Amino acid sequence: MDGTSSSSVAMDAPKPCIGILSIGDMGLGISKLLRAHDYPVSAKITLLENDSELVSQADIILSIVPPRDAIATARRIANACHSSAGITARNARRGTTSAPLNLTFVDLNAISLNSVTLISNLLSSKPAEERRPEPPRRQASLLSVFSSSPPKDPPPEPIPITFIDGAIIGPPPRQKPEHNKEWTLPSLSSSPSLSPDLPQILHVTHVSPQLGGASTLKSCFASLTKGLTALSLLSFTTAQSASLLPHLTAHLEKYSPGTLSLVKNALPAVPAKAHRWVDEMRQVGENFAEVGGLQEGKEVFDGFAGLYALVAEETEVGREAKRGKTVEDALATVEAGVKRRRRKQGGVGEEGEEDLSLTWRGSWT
């Protein structure tokens, strides 16, 4: 949020080591912010070889990945916390062989309550390979009774994991050029709460004691930003296809100038970001259906996911994100995608008379 700043916080106690998966713009910004506050960060800045090394060194892991990768990322960490290499290295780091201190895993991805529940179950259970049914007991024989083979040692206790559901709203952290100790921060939400010192540094708000609260808040927010952008893309592309776009913008300027301003600011970013929004829209729809009891919301946002997939996957501008810089670029992206889809589906029509409804219907097939 633009008006929020963070200044240095003096901490006498040793700071926990923060692991970040994986480094994009948001992860890199958070990593720089934490290092500016003297936190050891295991991320791109301190590159680790594997997941076992990560869980042995990190006290807190922040997962900041595309929504489609959130569950797979949590599964990787769960498996590493059950690995002998990870457990041994973590115990050695703590200087003890007793039960290891909990690892805190914070999911900061745009996911649904259902995905949050799946991740929670993953992090609190044994990996799949350890849940195989036991073979039937064999009857003891004299050979086994008098065998001198020593009993096998029990497997080491896995690294226990504390799971926090989180969400990020706003652009990545950035340092203010005029104040080298102040930062402009996004808003981070958590449910339940994080450790005491991190909320102040990362601008974290505790929104609910229940898992899933932060992700639900993110879904509701994204539905009014990226969802509105998708609706604007449908409206403007249809108006342009009918040679009515100047009339639409003129009416918006007169009767709803705020809407026109939002649309003009939002649409140029679509070609570069659409690939990140496809799964997020599906997760938003799942939340509307599961939390709000609104199956209609799932159908609408599955359609928005299909629209963003059209931009991201089926057009040249969607694949070459740098070319999308204006409203016209975004509209051309959808028009090109519609034409390509009609050709694939055997649609018939004159050049420039493509049916945008195929974009909507095709996303549900």
In sequence order, what DSSP letters do the residues of 283-309 get, joined into one string? HHHHHHHHTS--HHHHHHHHHHHHHHH
Q: Give every CB contact of residue 186 below 8 A, 6+ residues apart in sequence.
A: 1, 26, 168, 169, 170, 171, 172, 173, 203
- At residue 358 the predicted structure's pLDDT band, cuts being 50, 70 and 90, is very low
Tens digits of per-residue pLDDT, 132-144? Answer: 555 555 555 554 5
Tens digits of per-residue pLDDT, 298-319? Answer: 999 999 999 999 998 765 544 5
Residue spans per domain, the chain: 18-130+157-210, 217-362
β-pair type (161-169, 187-191): antiparallel
- The first and second tokens of residue 77, run together, are 């960490």
Ranges 56-65, 157-166, 222-231, 336-345: which has the least confidence? 336-345
- At residue 108 the predicted structure's pLDDT band, cuts being 50, 70 and 90, is very high
Burial class (CB in 10 A: 0-12, 13-18, 19+), 118: middle
* Exposure string for 137-148, b = 16+ CB within 10 A, e = fewer: eeeeeeeeeeee
- At residue 176 the predicted structure's pLDDT band, cuts being 50, 70 and 90, is confident
Whether 119 shows a pLDDT value over 80: the answer reads: yes
Where does 18-130+157-210 sit in CATH, by number? 3.40.50.720
Q: Cα separation of 26 and 62, whole Å? A: 11
Question: Could you give the C-alpha distances from 331 to 19, 21, 71, 229, 310, in angstroms and in order?
Answer: 40, 34, 33, 12, 12
Length of the chain: 365
- At residue 364 the predicted structure's pLDDT band, cuts being 50, 70 and 90, is very low
On the CB side of 332, CA atoms within 13 Å amount to 10
Q: Cα separation of 61 and 90, whole Å? A: 14
